[in-house]
Structure 1
Amino acid sequence: MRPNSVPPFSDLIKECYRSAVHLELRDTYSVASEADDFAEWQTCGRITPESVERRRPWHDLVRDTVARGVVMRRARVVSVPVSEYIRYEHAGTYLNVEAGEAVRWLPRRDAATLALPGADFWLFDDRLIRFGHFSGDGASAGHELCDDPAVLKLCAEAFEAVWQRATPHEAFAV
């Protein structure tokens, strides 16, 4: 499927019935939807009530999805010491966990012997992948869908390998 014809994430997750897993591989993202939150965190050094409110649509989506019986897991491969962006991401991850998403962190050094795809992805029910592409500075460069069985297998195995080695959010210090 062409990248510009990828349905919104909310449509894809509605068609998910068992599991949705997300692998993040970057140390920094510069996506427009997080710009205000990141700038606010840089100034305040904490997640503010306003930031919590701006994140509400995502957390409501996670709660609704988990309530339907979908297991949502996110694994992040990060360089250590972590970047400023990863510190920001870590500071707000408790909200994802409260919403029902399980999150783990893996230092990049511990991922060195794993075969990982070259892009972040969401894998829905082991049947569809939504790759996230980014520019060098972390700006979104679009999404792409894939349902090739060999790629599905590669991504599922990569995610599980990271998940097994990774540390749960509550125990991962930045």
Structure 2
Amino acid sequence: MESLDSAGWARMFNSCRESACHLEMRDHYAVAEEEADIAKWRAGDWGPEQDAASKAGWLDLMRATSARGVRLRRARIVSEPVTEYIRFEHEGTPQNVAAGEEVRWLPRSRASGLALPGNDCWIFDRTTVLFNHFTGDGGWVGNELTTDPRVALLCAEAFESVWELGIPHDTYVPR
């Protein structure tokens, strides 16, 4: 298992030609680089400007990818009532949308009939899947890349089923 650095993420998106879809299924992520941001948000010292500055590199990559005509979509399956982390993520999503991502939210109770992969993943051009692995408490473990056509099809179809049922960001209100 490997962990992509910023150059690795850039290579993934720069090689993408048509679509990049991210399926997120966890209610809590405990990635180290967000801890200080979440603490500031919790204390009321966090807003759109701080959020955009914190993820400026990512937003730049999304703008550049979108400008090349790649469709960027992110679907999040969430439990309701949502966790504190999901509230933090929801408040920061307008910056992602402004950078070219389309985002939808699917309450977990509406996902019961869906066949889903076992891990969060990015699906690039429906041919390449980058799985994101986390510990049980949300800590980052690493990435796993596959171009297995069966896995890519499974993940692409799962993403589309979540997308179809999902609520667009501008109308989803976390409960």
The code of the aligned residue for 1:98 comes to A
Deviations 1:42-84 (A, max 9, x none): 1117425333211111111100000011000000000000000
Deviations 1:76-127 (A, max 9, x none): 0000000000000000001000111000000000000000001000001111
Aligned match of 1:172: 172
Alpha-carbon distance between aligned partners in 2 of 1:51 and 1:42, rounded to the nearest angstrom: 13
Aligned match of 1:142: 142
Alpha-carbon distance between aligned partners in 1 of 2:3 and 2:31, rounded to the nearest angstrom: 19
Aligned match of 2:84: 84
Alpha-carbon distance between aligned partners in 1 of 2:58 and 2:135, rounded to the nearest angstrom: 23
Alpha-carbon distance between aligned partners in 1 of 2:70 and 2:35, rounded to the nearest angstrom: 29
> In structure 2, which of residues 2, 5, 26 is the aligned counterpart of residue 4 of structure 1?
2
Q: Which segments of structure 1 move beyond 6 Å, counting only runs of 4 or more?
A: none
Aligned match of 1:68: 68
In the superposition, the TM-score normalised over structure 2's length comes to 0.94
Q: How many pairs does the alignment contain?
A: 172
Query: Does residue 163 of structure 1 match 2:175?
Result: no
Alpha-carbon distance between aligned partners in 2 of 1:158 and 1:51, rounded to the nearest angstrom: 29
Alpha-carbon distance between aligned partners in 2 of 1:100 and 1:62, rounded to the nearest angstrom: 6
In the superposition, the TM-score normalised over structure 1's length comes to 0.95
Say what the alpha-carbon RMSD is for the aligned residues.
Answer: 1.4
Alpha-carbon distance between aligned partners in 2 of 1:17 and 1:66, rounded to the nearest angstrom: 10
Change in Cα spacing, 1:118 to 1:51, as seen in structure 2 (3 Å) is: same
What are the ranges of 5 or more consecutive residues in structure 1 without an aligned counterpart?
none
Q: Residue 40 of structure 1: CA displacement?
A: 1.0
Aligned 1:4-153 pairs, distance under 5 A: 4=2, 8-44=8-44, 46-47=46-47, 49-153=49-153
Alpha-carbon distance between aligned partners in 2 of 1:6 and 1:51, rounded to the nearest angstrom: 22
